[in-house]
Amino acid sequence: MSRPRWKSLLAVASLVVLGLVIVAQVVPYGRNHSNPPIGAEPSWNSSTTRALAARACFDCHSNQTRWPWYSHVAPMSWLVQNHVDEGRGVLNFSEWNRGNSEAGEAAETVREREMPPRSYLLLHPEARLTDAEREQLALGLDASLVPTRQSRADQVSAGVVNALSADHANVDITFCEHSTIWTGSEGQRWRPRI
Ligand code: HEC
């Protein structure tokens, strides 16, 4: 008695899928799992804010990414690599001395449940936040990342100001502090105006 037709088709289909998965492993993209050195972090308003961010954001927005086993297997590795590269590109909590143009948006993305991405939460239940934790993180992010007038003045006197948000990035700002008028744009070195 010959095998039912659907069984043969299924066997062929499985072999094709298996073949594709094996071939996919040869693609070089998705293997850069380096964690660059950890630089300056934001001045967190509390250790709770940092802990919540570490739990829900650091895998993609820091240099402390945990690389799970499936991040070594294509095609998942492509997705993970893309998330981490893009995530670090817009916001990197381990490189706070570099312009992090999206810092002003962080709290909003949390409140609107845009971040962390849903697909990530499926595989990372530990990163899920309760409503109370979400609100706490959003408040904490605003307090830690969006400079107030005073903290801005402190940063100005230290010589460097991080970008607040993309909207502000190219605006020239003048700032008066300790009888010196400073000028420059966020993300750049400030200079006294003569
Ligand atoms: C699975 C990886 C991943 C995690 C975890 C993650 N993000 Fe993102 N995030 C991204 C990627 C990728 C982008 C850029 C593309 C996009 O906008 O979807 C991004 C973009 C952003 C942006 C830029 C604005 C925007 O909407 O594009 C902000 C702000 C942000 N994330 C904040 C956070 C915060 C805060 C957390 C933690 C609560 C977090 N993200 C967790 C991957 C991640």
- Domain limits at 58? 37-146
Note whether residue 88 is domain-resident: yes
pLDDT, residue 165, reads 36
- Are 96 and 42 in the same domain? yes
- Are 109 and 177 in the same domain? no
User: 87 CB under 6 A from ligand 1?
Assistant: yes
User: 114 CB under 6 A from ligand 1?
Assistant: yes
- Are 47 and 136 in the same domain? yes
pLDDT, residue 101, reads 79
* Total tally of structural domains belonging to the chain: 2
User: 112 CB under 6 A from ligand 1?
Assistant: no
- Are 142 and 159 in the same domain? no
pLDDT, residue 91, reads 95
Whole-number Å distance between alpha carbons of 71 and 80: 6
Note whether residue 2 is domain-resident: no
Alpha helices in 25-172 (DSSP H): 47-56, 58-61, 76-90, 106-111, 118-123, 131-145, 149-158
The minimum-distance atom of ligand 1 relative to the CA of 119 is: 1
Q: Is the pTM of this model over 0.85?
A: no
Whole-number Å distance between alpha carbons of 81 and 43: 28
The protein residue with its alpha carbon nearest to ligand 1, atom 30, reads 106
**pLDDT means per 10 residues in the chain (194 residues)?**
85 95 91 91 95 98 96 94 95 89 91 96 96 96 76 56 42 54 60 59
DSSP state of 3: P
State CA 185 to chain mean position distance.
24
Ligand 1 centroid vs 94 CA: distance in angstroms?
Answer: 14
For 12-27, what is each residue's pLDDT tens digit?
Answer: 999 999 999 999 998 8
